[in-house]
Structure formats: C-alpha cells, structure tokens
C-alpha cells in the first residue's frame, strides 16, 4: 500500500498542468531559462512579436487605403444643370420643366477645401455603403467623427475606411459594409495604435474617359 501511495505522489499525473486553450496566447508555450539581465530584451522582443501578430490579423480586415490626393489649389466654380430624379429615359432639353436648378460639384462635395482630401478605394469591404474599388472618397479631417460615420483611420501604421462604432466598454470598433463574411469587425484594443484621420463625406467615380 505504501509503495502505491509513493508512486502516486511522484511523476506527472494525468490531467495535471495547464489545460490547452486556457491561456490568451495563440500558440503553445514552453518554459525556458534566460539570464535575469536579458529579461527586458526578451520582453521587448515578445511584445514586438505580439504586435506584429495583431497587425497581421487586423490587416486581413483593413482593406487598406494607400493613395491620397489633395483638391486642386484653386477650385473654380462650375454651374451645371441639375435635373430631377423623375426625368424619363432620353436626354431632356434644359428648357423642359424637369430642370431643378444648377449645381456646382465642388460646392456639393467639398465643405472646407483646406481640410479636405481624397483617397482611392482599393478593396471591397465597404461596397454595401456604396464605396466601390476605384472610387474617390471625399475625406474631411475638420469634422468630428461620431458613431455611425464612415471614417478614414490609421491602425498600427495602416490606413483603412470603415464605419465607426463602439464596443461595450466604449472603445472604438470598426465595421465593414460587406455581408459576404470576408471581413470581420476590427476591435480597437491596447496597445494598438489608432487614430481617426477624417470623416468620409462623399464619393465619386467615373465610368469611362
């Protein structure tokens, strides 16, 4: 009996140790010994590695924006006919009653020229918000973003356009507008670098040259 008790006290017991998946790390961990003086170095390396993993995971949902363009230095006033949406097929005469007025595209798209710039949409994460690849999004960095706005943000050095929302704790959350399941919401957490660069106020595109 004593021999059996002794054996139970020693060695690795079935089911002992930390259960798989009980840690917050993505990979299995091992125990290693390092000089105490090297602990800060290893900690910095692990933090850099963890940051890269977070960036790589977030980048899958970023649908990044990389092309920035400023408005022309001097915006010229343009006045073009504006027809009501009920205009039938065919091109009506400006003398018809269908003309609502005249529209200046610059004034319609740009509120403040000195705080506005354009970015080119490159992916399809916001297609259900009407932002298609190749579209020019109008971004106003002078507007204060609120929940529900489409915003241009920087996350860990990468730019993307998403809809601004909030998590339960009040932290920002970025939502795609693509129901295919290809893109997931981006939850902003420490120590991610996050900054709102502007509010998307509109967009435009060309169908042919």
End-to-end CA distance of the chain: 92
Residues 6+ positions from 177 with CB-CB distance below 8 Å: 125, 126, 127, 128, 129, 131, 163
Q: Which of 2, 39, 85, 125 is catalytic?
A: 125
State yes or no: is 162 an active-site residue: yes
Q: Which of 136, 143, 162, 203 is catalytic?
A: 162
What per-residue string of b and e applies to 159-196 under the rule 16 or more CB within 10 Å gives b?
bbbbbbeeeeeeebbbbbbbeeeebeebebeeebebeb
> Using an 8 Å Cβ cutoff, are 167 and 145 in contact?
no
State yes or no: is 182 an active-site residue: no
Catalytic site positions: 125, 162
């Amino acid at each position: 009996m004593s021999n059996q008790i002794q054996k139970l006290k020693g060695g690795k017991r079935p089911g002992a140790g930390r259960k798989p998946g009980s840690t917050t790390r993505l990979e299995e961990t091992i125990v290693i010994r390092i000089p105490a003086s090297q602990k800060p170095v290893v900690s910095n390396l692990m933090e850099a590695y963890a940051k890269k993993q977070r960036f790589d995971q977030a980048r899958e949902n970023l649908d990044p924006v990389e092309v920035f363009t400023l408005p022309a230095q001097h915006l010229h006033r343009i006045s073009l006919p504006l027809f009501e949406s009920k205009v039938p097929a065919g091109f009506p005469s400006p003398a018809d009653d269908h003309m609502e007025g005249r529209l200046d595209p610059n004034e319609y798209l740009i509120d403040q020229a000195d705080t506005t710039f354009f970015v080119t949409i490159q992916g399809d994460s916001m297609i259900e918000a009407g932002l298609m690849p190749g579209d020019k999004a109008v971004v106003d960095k002078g507007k204060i973003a609120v929940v529900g706005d489409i915003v241009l943000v920087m996350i860990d050095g990468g730019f993307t356009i998403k809809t601004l929302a909030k998590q339960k704790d009040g932290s920002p959350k970025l939502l795609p507008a693509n129901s295919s399941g290809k893109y997931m919401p981006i939850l902003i957490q420490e120590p991610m670098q996050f900054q709102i660069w502007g509010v998307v106020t509109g967009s435009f595109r060309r169908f042919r040259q």
